[in-house]
Structure 1
Amino acid sequence: MSIGNSPEDERSFQDESQEARPSVGRALQQARIAAGLTVDHVSSATRVRIAIVHAIEADDFAPCGGDVYARGHIRTLAKAVHLDPEPLIAQYDAEHGGRPAPTPAAPLFEAERIRPERRGPNWTAAMVAAIVVVIGFVGFTAFKGGGGDSDAKSQVADGATPATSKSASPKPKKEKPAEPTGEPTDSAIAAAPQDKVTVQVSAADGRSWISAKDHNGRMLFDGLLKKGQSKTFQDSSKINLILGDAGAIQLYVNGKKIQDNFQPGAVQRLTYTKGDPEAG
């Protein structure tokens, strides 16, 4: 006869239906126990707080802070306990009203391009016209100078001294400036203000939702960053970041590249200050 279960005994009751599919939290808990892992082990491996791990295993997703974070935590915990995260995310969506339609990113990043601008003088056309005039004048001078040489030769043959004429010297061509590279140059790193914190977020390996706040909690940006796009944030003392898919993001803090091996699909909360690139 069993007197009672120990606190470590997390096995399901024997009278549960074997055909019923377990909930998302229950499935994660059973996989964790089967892998011989404790909540502390999972929290250390995923950087998800212990309280949130306990809440998710109890099917309480409110501490996650929203559906986006909940899906990210489910994906991270499933990988840590060797489960396929896709069925669990599909089950979560089915139980919580379905996956919401993605917010179109075009209004976020193209609003400034469609803003009407006042047209100024067309200096390009004026410059092209001036260059054409100069080239024509130089060509005419060269042609006329060729005829002058024949006259000079005839004068030399007659014993006369030819007049010395100055040849038009061609204008030096301006070198085309070098194309900017994706990596920050040494001058850009040196130009980073020492009395401020500057954070550049680049979606190098895919798209990701990001959120950025300053030291007063004021929202600087909250939206989707497409692959190849980047955002730069600056504050007098501190920048707070939330990365929806940290594995797709490359960070530059105060002009220096941050070498963090973030996992794809992992949600990361980061804080950077003037003294970084050490993570806050």
Structure 2
Amino acid sequence: MQAIGERLREARMRQGLDISELEASTKIRAKYLRALENDEFGMLPGSTYVKSFLRTYAEQLGLDAQLLVEEYRAQHEPRGEGELQAYVPPARREPAVGGGPPVFGPGTLIAGGVVLLLVVFAVIGLASGGKSHTHKAATAPKHKPHRARPKPRPQPAVAPTTVSLKVVPTESTYVCTDDGAGHTQFEGIINSPKTFSGKRVRLNLGRSSANLVVDGKPYSFTRTASAVGFDFSPGGKNKVLPPGQRPCGG
């Protein structure tokens, strides 16, 4: 038949549990749990503690606790002189005629004192082990769950306040620009690219063979044999200007 301690150890290992984890869940000191797994029942302070600890440990591991306790009683529980028995005072003797109260012998008193001290020491040891573990568990730092930082809200696009116009001639070309209020910015013949900017730019272009770039993007328009005119504003608000509305009297 498989030993009690071997069954306890195999059940713990099947579940992947460590002695320290079971010490915390059963409140039984680790050295007593190891003693149970090694069938070293003599390391525990008396058969009463063995049966109590064995029952608790077996239930924690999902084993038949009652069956293991009965096997311990049948195979290991001390009988007679090997086990410390609780002190029971001897039966009272009938006092002799004319005698005083019964007198206990010194041996009986010493034996009772030894048993009482052993019980007190065992209780103190178990209590101190449990308190020490509880204190460690209580002082363990708590890990705060990590909270994801909220993503920044996208900033609304800022509406442009100016417009940029670049004239790229393919040949000598007459150019006149103003600010939309009749104030001339430039008038003359250009042979190389020239850039104009402002809150509004109106253009009178002598030759439509020139290329136009508005706010960094090519601007498409209908090519003609005569002059053309345009009105450029921020945000792509552009329009064609008919003759008579172009800058410089165009």
**TM-score, normalising length: structure 1:** 0.31
TM-score, normalised via structure 2 length: 0.34
